[in-house]
Amino acid sequence: MKRTFELEDLDCANCAMKMQEAVKKIPGVKDCEVSFMKQKMTLEADDADFDKIVKLAVKAIAKVEPDCTVVL
């Protein structure tokens, strides 16, 4: 499954890259792209565990940038 989520208060491109790398390390993630310019994250992951992976991705993003919010 592949979905795109809006990101609020993403402050810098460097943080976006760190978020992208953190999410890619989550088991079951096939691909992830965090775009600073678009303020969006595109996540591709296993269908069976997609909701669980999204929750883990939100936690990973919060560790990198606590002020950034993922719009679910």
pLDDT at 16: 98
- Nearest 5 degrees, angle CA 29-CA 67-CA 45? 10
| E-assigned strand segments in 9-54 | 29-35, 40-45
Name the maximum alpha-carbon separation found in the chain: 32
Q: What is the pTM of this model?
A: 0.95
Per-residue pLDDT band for 14 (boundaries 50, 70, 90) equals: very high
Strands (E), the chain: 2-8, 29-35, 40-45, 69-71
Domains of the chain by residue range? 2-71
Segment 15-66, tens digit of pLDDT: 999 999 999 999 999 999 999 999 999 999 999 999 999 999 999 999 999 9
Q: Domain spanning 2-71: which CATH class is it, in words?
A: alpha beta
Rounded CA separation 4/71 (Å): 10
Q: What is the pLDDT of residue 50?
A: 98
